[in-house]
Homo-oligomer: A and B are copies of this chain.
Amino acid sequence: MNENKETQILESLDLELRRGTIVLSVLSQLKQPQYGYSLVVLLEDKGFKIDPGTLYPLLRRLEKQELLNSHWDTEGTKPRKYYVLSDMGNSIYSKLTEQWLDVVKKINYLIRSEKDE
């Protein structure tokens, strides 16, 4: 009973932890064009499960913010919408990466300094 509660809290905290990193992980895979479904598979392969219902709206938002360009490929059997980093997307991605590394450094410091005592 208490176990369940703890597990549940942990899950939601873990969710929160991954939340902010979603954009970063998506951007990191879009130097090469990808379509939604391929991204889901690709990220899952690398350890990131992302719900399609989360990813699709995200891609559209990022396109609207002009971090991504997109085009439809109607050649193949099925129409696919490919997304790729725009110039601004590239710029933001590299800056966001720096911020990420900064956050990691600081958190690790907090975690470690508490362990040293």
Contacts and interface: CB of A to CB of B under 8 A. Distances in A.
A14 interface: yes
Given A19-B20, A21-B103, A106-B47, A65 B114 contact: no
Q: How many copies of this chain does the complex contain?
A: 2
Q: How large is the interface on A (under 10, 10 to 19, 20 to 34, 35 or more residues)?
A: 35 or more
A1 interface: no
Contact of A107 (B25, B99, B113): B25
A70 to B, nearest CB: 17
Contacts of A2: 88
A80 to B, nearest CB: 21
Contact of A99 (B17, B31, B100, B111): B17
A13 B19 contact: no
A74 to B, nearest CB: 28
Contacts of A28: 107, 110-111, 114
9 contacts: A6-B91, A9-B65, A10-B95, A17-B24, A17-B103, A18-B103, A28-B107, A29-B110, A47-B109
